[in-house]
Amino acid sequence: MKKNFLLLLVAACAVVACDKSETIDEKGQKQGEVAFSPISMPATKAPISATAFPDDNIIYVSASNNKAKFFEAKTFKKDAVSGFWKNYVAAVQTPLYWPLGGAGSFDFLAYSTTLNATAVWGDGDPVTDDDVAGIVTITYPANYTAPAADVKATQDDLLYATTSSASRNTALPIEFKHALAWVNFMVKSNINVNIKKIELVNVYTEGKFTVDQTQNTPVTSWDFSAATPSDKGILTYVNESTDNVYASFNIDGTAGHETGSDHEFGDKGILLPAQPISNFKITYNLGGGDLVYTVNSIRGTWENGKKYTYKINITFNEITLDPTVVVYSDEGNMDINL
Protein backbone atom coordinates (compact mmCIF):
# COMPACT_ATOMS: atom_id res chain seq x y z
CA MET A 1 0.00 0.00 0.00
CA LYS A 2 1.22 3.44 -0.77
CA LYS A 3 2.38 5.61 2.08
CA ASN A 4 1.40 9.18 2.73
CA PHE A 5 4.13 11.49 1.58
CA LEU A 6 4.89 15.15 1.49
CA LEU A 7 7.47 16.02 -1.12
CA LEU A 8 9.13 19.24 -2.12
CA LEU A 9 9.84 19.07 -5.82
CA VAL A 10 12.24 21.31 -7.61
CA ALA A 11 13.52 21.52 -11.13
CA ALA A 12 16.97 22.72 -12.03
CA CYS A 13 18.10 25.00 -14.83
CA ALA A 14 21.53 26.20 -15.90
CA VAL A 15 22.45 29.44 -17.64
CA VAL A 16 25.41 29.11 -19.95
CA ALA A 17 27.52 31.52 -21.92
CA CYS A 18 28.18 29.28 -24.89
CA ASP A 19 30.76 29.75 -27.57
CA LYS A 20 28.51 28.35 -30.29
CA SER A 21 27.24 31.85 -31.02
CA GLU A 22 29.60 34.78 -30.57
CA THR A 23 30.56 38.07 -32.17
CA ILE A 24 33.72 40.16 -32.36
CA ASP A 25 33.39 43.80 -31.37
CA GLU A 26 35.32 46.70 -32.90
CA LYS A 27 38.23 46.08 -30.48
CA GLY A 28 38.58 42.47 -31.53
CA GLN A 29 37.06 41.06 -28.33
CA LYS A 30 34.69 38.12 -28.30
CA GLN A 31 31.18 38.40 -26.90
CA GLY A 32 29.53 35.20 -25.68
CA GLU A 33 25.79 34.74 -26.15
CA VAL A 34 23.53 34.45 -23.12
CA ALA A 35 21.67 31.15 -23.40
CA PHE A 36 19.86 28.70 -21.14
CA SER A 37 20.29 24.95 -20.92
CA PRO A 38 17.62 23.81 -18.46
CA ILE A 39 17.49 20.32 -16.96
CA SER A 40 15.19 18.77 -14.38
CA MET A 41 16.14 16.96 -11.22
CA PRO A 42 14.64 13.44 -10.94
CA ALA A 43 11.23 13.45 -9.27
CA THR A 44 9.05 10.55 -8.14
CA LYS A 45 5.78 11.96 -9.46
CA ALA A 46 4.89 15.50 -10.37
CA PRO A 47 3.10 17.50 -13.04
CA ILE A 48 6.62 18.00 -14.43
CA SER A 49 8.34 14.77 -13.46
CA ALA A 50 10.67 13.78 -16.31
CA THR A 51 14.44 14.08 -16.06
CA ALA A 52 14.55 16.69 -18.83
CA PHE A 53 13.08 20.17 -18.75
CA PRO A 54 10.05 20.14 -21.10
CA ASP A 55 11.15 21.16 -24.58
CA ASP A 56 8.03 23.22 -25.21
CA ASN A 57 8.27 25.22 -21.98
CA ILE A 58 9.18 28.89 -22.42
CA ILE A 59 11.40 30.65 -19.86
CA TYR A 60 10.74 34.34 -19.17
CA VAL A 61 13.77 36.12 -17.71
CA SER A 62 14.93 39.50 -16.43
CA ALA A 63 18.41 40.41 -15.22
CA SER A 64 20.23 43.26 -13.47
CA ASN A 65 23.86 44.15 -12.87
CA ASN A 66 24.53 46.17 -9.70
CA LYS A 67 20.86 47.23 -9.70
CA ALA A 68 21.18 48.50 -13.28
CA LYS A 69 18.92 46.92 -15.90
CA PHE A 70 20.70 44.30 -18.01
CA PHE A 71 17.62 43.00 -19.83
CA GLU A 72 13.94 42.76 -18.99
CA ALA A 73 11.16 40.23 -19.69
CA LYS A 74 13.03 38.32 -22.38
CA THR A 75 11.57 35.16 -23.90
CA PHE A 76 13.84 32.13 -24.04
CA LYS A 77 12.88 29.10 -26.13
CA LYS A 78 14.75 25.93 -26.94
CA ASP A 79 16.92 26.29 -30.03
CA ALA A 80 16.64 23.12 -32.12
CA VAL A 81 20.24 23.32 -33.37
CA SER A 82 22.17 24.00 -30.16
CA GLY A 83 19.71 22.49 -27.69
CA PHE A 84 19.97 25.62 -25.51
CA TRP A 85 17.14 27.94 -24.51
CA LYS A 86 17.99 31.20 -26.28
CA ASN A 87 16.38 34.60 -26.58
CA TYR A 88 13.65 34.79 -29.21
CA VAL A 89 11.72 37.75 -30.64
CA ALA A 90 8.53 36.17 -31.95
CA ALA A 91 9.79 33.17 -33.98
CA VAL A 92 13.26 34.63 -34.62
CA GLN A 93 16.23 33.60 -32.49
CA THR A 94 17.84 36.90 -31.43
CA PRO A 95 21.08 36.50 -29.42
CA LEU A 96 21.70 38.37 -26.18
CA TYR A 97 25.35 38.93 -25.28
CA TRP A 98 27.14 39.37 -22.00
CA PRO A 99 28.51 42.93 -21.59
CA LEU A 100 32.24 43.30 -22.15
CA GLY A 101 32.63 45.46 -19.05
CA GLY A 102 30.74 45.70 -15.79
CA ALA A 103 31.59 44.38 -12.38
CA GLY A 104 29.72 42.68 -9.58
CA SER A 105 26.94 40.14 -9.67
CA PHE A 106 24.27 39.64 -12.26
CA ASP A 107 20.88 38.94 -10.68
CA PHE A 108 18.43 36.77 -12.60
CA LEU A 109 14.73 36.22 -11.99
CA ALA A 110 12.77 33.80 -14.18
CA TYR A 111 9.51 31.92 -14.41
CA SER A 112 8.16 29.23 -16.70
CA THR A 113 4.65 28.04 -17.49
CA THR A 114 2.62 26.87 -20.45
CA LEU A 115 -0.22 29.13 -19.31
CA ASN A 116 -1.13 32.41 -20.92
CA ALA A 117 0.00 34.15 -17.74
CA THR A 118 0.83 37.84 -17.47
CA ALA A 119 3.70 39.30 -15.44
CA VAL A 120 4.84 42.68 -14.13
CA TRP A 121 8.59 43.03 -13.60
CA GLY A 122 10.27 45.29 -11.04
CA ASP A 123 8.92 47.09 -8.00
CA GLY A 124 6.49 49.32 -9.90
CA ASP A 125 8.18 52.56 -8.81
CA PRO A 126 9.23 54.54 -11.92
CA VAL A 127 12.02 56.24 -9.91
CA THR A 128 13.66 53.09 -8.55
CA ASP A 129 12.32 50.52 -10.99
CA ASP A 130 15.68 49.57 -12.51
CA ASP A 131 16.23 46.40 -10.49
CA VAL A 132 14.06 44.40 -12.86
CA ALA A 133 15.40 41.10 -11.56
CA GLY A 134 14.24 41.97 -8.06
CA ILE A 135 10.49 41.46 -8.25
CA VAL A 136 8.00 39.80 -10.57
CA THR A 137 4.25 39.50 -10.03
CA ILE A 138 2.58 36.81 -12.12
CA THR A 139 -1.17 36.62 -12.65
CA TYR A 140 -1.97 32.91 -12.42
CA PRO A 141 -5.36 32.18 -14.06
CA ALA A 142 -7.72 29.47 -12.88
CA ASN A 143 -7.11 26.61 -15.29
CA TYR A 144 -8.49 23.47 -13.69
CA THR A 145 -11.84 21.85 -14.49
CA ALA A 146 -12.74 18.37 -13.33
CA PRO A 147 -12.91 16.30 -16.51
CA ALA A 148 -15.89 14.38 -17.84
CA ALA A 149 -15.91 10.59 -17.99
CA ASP A 150 -13.10 9.10 -20.07
CA VAL A 151 -11.31 12.45 -20.31
CA LYS A 152 -8.05 12.96 -18.45
CA ALA A 153 -7.49 16.16 -16.51
CA THR A 154 -4.71 18.49 -17.56
CA GLN A 155 -3.35 21.40 -15.59
CA ASP A 156 -0.49 23.83 -16.07
CA ASP A 157 2.35 24.12 -13.58
CA LEU A 158 4.01 27.40 -12.60
CA LEU A 159 7.77 27.45 -11.92
CA TYR A 160 10.01 30.27 -10.72
CA ALA A 161 13.75 30.73 -10.13
CA THR A 162 16.23 33.30 -8.82
CA THR A 163 20.01 33.36 -8.86
CA SER A 164 22.98 35.71 -8.55
CA SER A 165 26.47 35.24 -9.95
CA ALA A 166 29.54 37.24 -10.92
CA SER A 167 30.60 34.60 -13.46
CA ARG A 168 30.51 35.34 -17.19
CA ASN A 169 31.94 32.08 -18.51
CA THR A 170 30.69 29.13 -16.47
CA ALA A 171 27.24 27.59 -16.21
CA LEU A 172 25.15 29.37 -13.62
CA PRO A 173 22.95 26.99 -11.63
CA ILE A 174 19.41 28.32 -11.37
CA GLU A 175 16.92 26.04 -9.65
CA PHE A 176 13.28 26.25 -10.65
CA LYS A 177 10.82 25.68 -7.83
CA HIS A 178 7.13 24.92 -7.93
CA ALA A 179 4.96 27.93 -7.12
CA LEU A 180 1.94 25.75 -6.33
CA ALA A 181 0.87 23.13 -3.82
CA TRP A 182 -0.04 19.70 -5.16
CA VAL A 183 -3.07 18.08 -3.50
CA ASN A 184 -4.52 14.64 -4.16
CA PHE A 185 -6.72 12.03 -2.50
CA MET A 186 -6.64 8.27 -1.98
CA VAL A 187 -9.76 6.30 -1.03
CA LYS A 188 -10.37 2.77 0.22
CA SER A 189 -13.33 1.04 1.84
CA ASN A 190 -14.35 -2.16 3.64
CA ILE A 191 -17.76 -2.18 1.93
CA ASN A 192 -19.16 -1.99 -1.58
CA VAL A 193 -19.46 1.75 -2.22
CA ASN A 194 -19.71 3.90 -5.36
CA ILE A 195 -17.57 7.05 -5.08
CA LYS A 196 -19.20 9.80 -7.13
CA LYS A 197 -16.92 12.79 -6.56
CA ILE A 198 -14.60 14.62 -4.21
CA GLU A 199 -14.81 18.40 -3.99
CA LEU A 200 -12.71 21.07 -2.32
CA VAL A 201 -14.90 23.66 -0.61
CA ASN A 202 -14.47 27.40 -1.26
CA VAL A 203 -10.91 27.15 -2.57
CA TYR A 204 -8.78 29.60 -4.56
CA THR A 205 -7.46 28.32 -7.90
CA GLU A 206 -6.18 31.67 -9.18
CA GLY A 207 -4.35 34.72 -7.86
CA LYS A 208 -1.29 36.93 -8.19
CA PHE A 209 2.03 35.29 -7.31
CA THR A 210 4.93 37.59 -6.37
CA VAL A 211 8.61 36.70 -6.11
CA ASP A 212 10.73 39.32 -4.30
CA GLN A 213 14.48 38.76 -4.23
CA THR A 214 15.46 42.30 -3.26
CA GLN A 215 16.40 40.86 0.14
CA ASN A 216 19.06 38.24 0.86
CA THR A 217 16.44 35.49 0.85
CA PRO A 218 13.75 35.51 -1.87
CA VAL A 219 10.22 35.95 -0.51
CA THR A 220 7.11 34.61 -2.26
CA SER A 221 3.47 35.53 -1.64
CA TRP A 222 -0.03 35.10 -3.07
CA ASP A 223 -2.65 37.84 -3.43
CA PHE A 224 -6.29 36.74 -3.76
CA SER A 225 -7.87 40.20 -3.53
CA ALA A 226 -9.12 40.03 -7.13
CA ALA A 227 -10.07 36.33 -6.99
CA THR A 228 -13.23 34.55 -5.88
CA PRO A 229 -13.07 31.16 -4.15
CA SER A 230 -15.38 28.37 -5.30
CA ASP A 231 -15.99 24.65 -4.87
CA LYS A 232 -13.76 22.56 -7.10
CA GLY A 233 -14.41 18.93 -8.05
CA ILE A 234 -11.34 16.70 -8.03
CA LEU A 235 -12.85 13.49 -9.34
CA THR A 236 -12.75 11.58 -11.91
CA TYR A 237 -11.17 8.36 -10.77
CA VAL A 238 -7.95 7.18 -12.40
CA ASN A 239 -6.98 3.52 -12.31
CA GLU A 240 -3.19 3.51 -11.93
CA SER A 241 -2.82 0.04 -13.45
CA THR A 242 -4.76 0.69 -16.65
CA ASP A 243 -4.74 4.51 -16.67
CA ASN A 244 -8.48 4.39 -17.43
CA VAL A 245 -10.65 7.27 -16.23
CA TYR A 246 -14.18 7.00 -14.88
CA ALA A 247 -16.90 9.43 -13.82
CA SER A 248 -17.35 7.35 -10.66
CA PHE A 249 -15.94 4.14 -9.32
CA ASN A 250 -17.26 1.18 -7.36
CA ILE A 251 -15.00 0.02 -4.56
CA ASP A 252 -15.88 -3.48 -3.39
CA GLY A 253 -13.99 -3.67 -0.13
CA THR A 254 -15.97 -6.57 1.33
CA ALA A 255 -14.28 -9.75 2.53
CA GLY A 256 -12.55 -11.49 -0.34
CA HIS A 257 -12.42 -8.37 -2.48
CA GLU A 258 -9.88 -6.29 -0.58
CA THR A 259 -7.64 -4.12 -2.71
CA GLY A 260 -3.89 -4.12 -2.27
CA SER A 261 -3.63 -0.37 -2.77
CA ASP A 262 -5.71 2.73 -2.26
CA HIS A 263 -7.68 4.23 -5.14
CA GLU A 264 -6.26 7.52 -6.37
CA PHE A 265 -8.60 10.30 -7.49
CA GLY A 266 -8.44 13.42 -9.62
CA ASP A 267 -5.88 12.25 -12.19
CA LYS A 268 -3.11 12.69 -9.66
CA GLY A 269 -4.60 15.65 -7.90
CA ILE A 270 -4.99 19.38 -8.34
CA LEU A 271 -2.47 22.24 -8.31
CA LEU A 272 -3.39 25.15 -6.03
CA PRO A 273 -1.92 28.44 -4.84
CA ALA A 274 -0.66 28.39 -1.25
CA GLN A 275 -3.62 29.04 1.08
CA PRO A 276 -5.30 27.80 4.25
CA ILE A 277 -6.30 24.17 3.82
CA SER A 278 -9.83 23.86 2.48
CA ASN A 279 -12.57 21.61 3.78
CA PHE A 280 -13.60 18.92 1.35
CA LYS A 281 -16.66 16.77 0.77
CA ILE A 282 -17.04 13.31 -0.70
CA THR A 283 -20.19 12.17 -2.50
CA TYR A 284 -20.89 8.42 -2.51
CA ASN A 285 -23.70 5.93 -3.02
CA LEU A 286 -24.41 2.70 -1.14
CA GLY A 287 -27.13 1.52 -3.52
CA GLY A 288 -29.75 4.13 -2.68
CA GLY A 289 -29.52 7.89 -3.02
CA ASP A 290 -26.29 9.87 -3.02
CA LEU A 291 -24.79 10.72 0.35
CA VAL A 292 -22.43 13.63 1.04
CA TYR A 293 -19.90 13.65 3.86
CA THR A 294 -18.07 16.90 4.62
CA VAL A 295 -14.67 16.88 6.30
CA ASN A 296 -14.35 20.21 8.09
CA SER A 297 -11.81 19.58 10.83
CA ILE A 298 -8.67 20.19 8.75
CA ARG A 299 -6.28 22.91 9.90
CA GLY A 300 -3.05 24.33 8.53
CA THR A 301 -1.85 25.74 5.21
CA TRP A 302 -1.05 24.27 1.83
CA GLU A 303 2.46 25.51 1.01
CA ASN A 304 4.14 26.18 -2.34
CA GLY A 305 6.17 23.30 -3.74
CA LYS A 306 4.79 20.61 -1.43
CA LYS A 307 2.69 17.57 -2.22
CA TYR A 308 -0.18 16.58 0.06
CA THR A 309 -1.83 13.16 -0.12
CA TYR A 310 -5.02 12.61 1.88
CA LYS A 311 -6.08 9.02 2.55
CA ILE A 312 -9.79 8.44 3.12
CA ASN A 313 -10.88 5.14 4.68
CA ILE A 314 -14.62 4.48 4.39
CA THR A 315 -15.75 1.99 7.05
CA PHE A 316 -19.30 1.00 7.97
CA ASN A 317 -20.08 -1.48 10.74
CA GLU A 318 -23.45 -3.05 11.48
CA ILE A 319 -25.15 -2.15 14.77
CA THR A 320 -25.51 -5.37 16.76
CA LEU A 321 -26.53 -6.18 20.35
CA ASP A 322 -24.95 -8.61 22.80
CA PRO A 323 -27.47 -8.71 25.66
CA THR A 324 -26.78 -9.98 29.19
CA VAL A 325 -28.76 -9.74 32.43
CA VAL A 326 -27.33 -8.59 35.72
CA VAL A 327 -28.10 -11.06 38.53
CA TYR A 328 -30.74 -9.96 41.02
CA SER A 329 -29.20 -8.66 44.20
CA ASP A 330 -30.88 -9.59 47.48
CA GLU A 331 -31.82 -6.44 49.35
CA GLY A 332 -33.11 -8.43 52.37
CA ASN A 333 -36.43 -8.14 54.19
CA MET A 334 -38.55 -5.05 53.80
CA ASP A 335 -40.88 -4.07 56.69
CA ILE A 336 -44.44 -3.13 55.82
CA ASN A 337 -46.52 -1.15 58.32
CA LEU A 338 -50.29 -1.67 58.32
Q: Note the pLDDT tens digit of each residue in 169-195.
A: 665 667 788 899 988 887 777 777 888
* Cα 154 to Cα 30: distance, rounded to the nearest angstrom: 45
Q: Considering only CA atoms, which of 221, 204, 210 is closest in space to residue 120?
A: 210
**What is the reported pLDDT for 119?**
93
Residues of the chain with pLDDT under 50: 1-29, 39-46, 49-51, 260, 266
CA 331 from chain centre, in angstroms, equals: 72
* Cα 308 to Cα 7: distance, rounded to the nearest angstrom: 8
**What is the reported pLDDT for 312?**
80
Instruction: Tell me how far CA of residue 133 lies from CA of 44, 70, 87, 166, in angstroms.
Output: 31, 9, 16, 15
DSSP conformation letters of 62-128: EEEETTEEEEEEEEEEE-TTT-SEEEEETTEE--EE--SS--S-EEEEEEEESS--EEEES-S-TTT
Long-range contacts of 162-166 (CB under 8 A, 24+ apart): 162/107, 162/108, 162/109, 162/110, 162/133, 162/211, 162/213, 162/218, 163/15, 163/107, 163/108, 164/105, 164/106, 164/107, 164/108, 165/105, 165/106, 165/108, 166/103, 166/104, 166/105, 166/106
**What is the reported pLDDT for 42?**
38
For 140-166, write each residue's pLDDT tens digit.
987 766 655 555 556 788 999 998 877
**What is the reported pLDDT for 258?**
54
Q: Considering only CA atoms, which of 138, 181, 159, 140 is closest in space to residue 40?
A: 159
Regarding pTM above 0.85, the answer is no
**What is the reported pLDDT for 227?**
93
* Cα 78 to Cα 86: distance, rounded to the nearest angstrom: 6
